[in-house]
Amino acid sequence: MKWPRIFFAFGLLLYTMQGLAQTNNRFGMHLGPIGSELQSFGSDAPSYDLRLRLYAGIFHEVTFDKNFGFVTEVAYAGQGGMQSVEVLNDAGESLGLADYRINLNYFQVPVMFRAKSGGEMFRAFADVGGYFGVLATAKGRFSPGSLPENQNPPDETNLYEKYKVWDAGVRAAIGLEIQPMPAHVFFVRAQFSQGLVDIASEKTLTKRNQLFGLSLGYYFEL
């Protein structure tokens, strides 16, 4: 439980500093696909494949000068993974393997340092920092197209008790701002994050979140 508290305290301190400083403020939003992987460690640890999920965020950028600032954000991050699971009939006989999707839906608060470089129309930026997240829902279900023929998919399973509520980790991103006209700024951003917290409730396993993704966004000056 230490990592979430550290990131929460750091984010609160940083946001207070932003309010006290004489700064330039911008708000915005971005949305895009992410590749999510559920890393698993330990004896008999299951293997998970990459899943395509969604990331959406609303952020607040504060710059202390033209090339340096901070970004705080509130975001939705769809994470999880996919694994091959043996399907059994009512008699306990194997019908083969099917894809089992694990959907972990988080609300996250990233806190990032930002550096910029460029001109009036094009500006590159790089972000480095961390995030903490709260698990909203955890569900598991079979992918219908992967099930054996004439096999109906089982009901969706609630996996919330198998995962811890808190997550935290490090994050880095790079991007490009495009300003075709005054007060209208668009950007494209690539990000990567690595979870540092074991999110599994089971003591015999260690699981961590990992994601990378691409998003498009827009922000404006107050």
Question: What are the sequence ranges of the domains in the chain?
Answer: 2-221
Instruction: State mean pLDDT over 195-203.
Output: 90
Structure tokens at 128: 């480095």
CA–CA separation, 109 vs 133, rounded Å? 6
**pLDDT score for 178:** 94
CB 185 within 8 Å of CB 179? yes
The CA distance from 33 to 115, in Å, is: 24
Q: How confident is the model at residue 22 (pLDDT cuts 50, 70, 90)?
A: low
Question: Is the pLDDT at 151 greater than 70, yes or no?
Answer: no
**SS3 track for 62-125:** EEEECCEEEEEEEEEEEEEEEEEEEEECCCCCEEEEEEEEEEEEEEEEEEEEEEEEECCCEEEE
Q: Which CATH number fits domain 2-221: 2.60.40.1930, 3.40.50.1820, 1.10.940.10, 2.40.160.20?
A: 2.40.160.20
Pick from 56-65, 124-133, 177-186 the range whose average pLDDT is largest: 124-133
DSSP 128-186: EEEEEEEEEEEEEEE-GGGSPTTPPPPPPEE-GGGB-SEEEEEEEEEEEEEEEETTEEE
Confidence label for 19 from pLDDT (cuts 50, 70 and 90): low
CB 97 within 8 A of CB 85: yes
